Structure 1
Amino acid sequence: MKRKIIWMLTLFLFPAFTSAQAEEPPPALVNAIARQESGLNPLAVNVAGKSYYPATREEAERLIRDALAAGKSFDVGKMQINSWWMKRFGIDPIALLDPDVNESWGKRILAEEIARHGLNWQAVGKYHSPDSERGRQYAWRIYRHYAGPRASTQKEVGHAQQKTRPQSLSQPAGVWRNPGVSRPGRIVTLDLQ
């Protein structure tokens, strides 16, 4: 009985506690993540790395139930909320097929990472993966959606493949950035316009 009471208190108090700590992420960033994750498809389901775009909600629900029964990792909805988060917060995976509910949880998860790492690309990478390299690659894909068509035509080039050093670009607040050049340990904040 005590466990149940503690669990219910945690469920009700935790959202108030985290929302007081974390600001809501910028809408353009949330939209860029949703574009990368699902192409803005509220019924998108990814099971163990394989993406599905069901035509009906019933089909999406079946995919979720099958993944649960098989004990597989899966992601749901336009923000692709992972089953790990569902277990952590006690989220009903079927409820995540509602785009508003899904976006709300995606914002909350992203806000936690921003509170932990600051409003920067590292936080965006952590939304996707705790692995630094996977997170860096993910953040680059999000940047392409965030920055728009101009950025999506640019290609990331590794250090070994560069023939000449790219020209540095001046940014607001005196921060210098070199496109295509990563610097270990350097955190670049989001340039919100």
Structure 2
Amino acid sequence: MGTQTSKAPVDVKALKDISKKKDPKEKPDIQALAGGDGAQKESSATASPPEQLGCLDQGAVTGEEVIAPAEPPAEKKDPRDQSAITIQSWWRGQLVRRTLHHATLSVLVIQRWWRQVAFKQREERRVKALMTYMRTEKATVLLQSLVRRWLARTQYKKYQRAALVLQNSWRQYTYHRESMVWAGKKMADEAVDLIIEIAVG
């Protein structure tokens, strides 16, 4: 079970008087708000604002605008704290720069490796395409050479047969002509002899 703390009573009239003051810089009288007794002075010094005492809205109690309490004076900053903050910010910047530098180097290494892999893959594809082209080209050239050789041999055999026919024809013609000349000479020689024989006889 929670313990209940005793709350000091709030003087509504004092709140109204404070809200009617025209000088907003003037601090409200805390003792007047707390009731003013010595026993209540200590509780008023540590008293909570009206919102924590059960009043949800001070304007609802007074019926007028609420004056915000003055802010406590700002504490003086220690120059050592500022130096520590400066050193911390510098060190964090160094860490961030180191991290970025390491990340950049890692990215460069990955990019270099990937470019090497991509270059090797492109070279392999290029060599494969070149080998396929060369194989096709070689097969085409071989087929063309075989066809040309067959055509050349066919043409050569045709010319060879034609040459043989011409040679045979020319040999027959020359043989026939020579034989005719030889037969004529022989007949002429024999005819002379016949004539001589007839004359003698």
Which has the larger share of helix?
A: 2
Identify which of structures 1 and 2 has the higher relative contact order when contacts are C-alpha pairs closer than 8 Å and 6+ apart: 1
TM-score scaled by structure 2?
0.16
Identify the structure with the greater strand proportion.
1
Task: Select the structure of larger CA radius of gyration.
Answer: 2
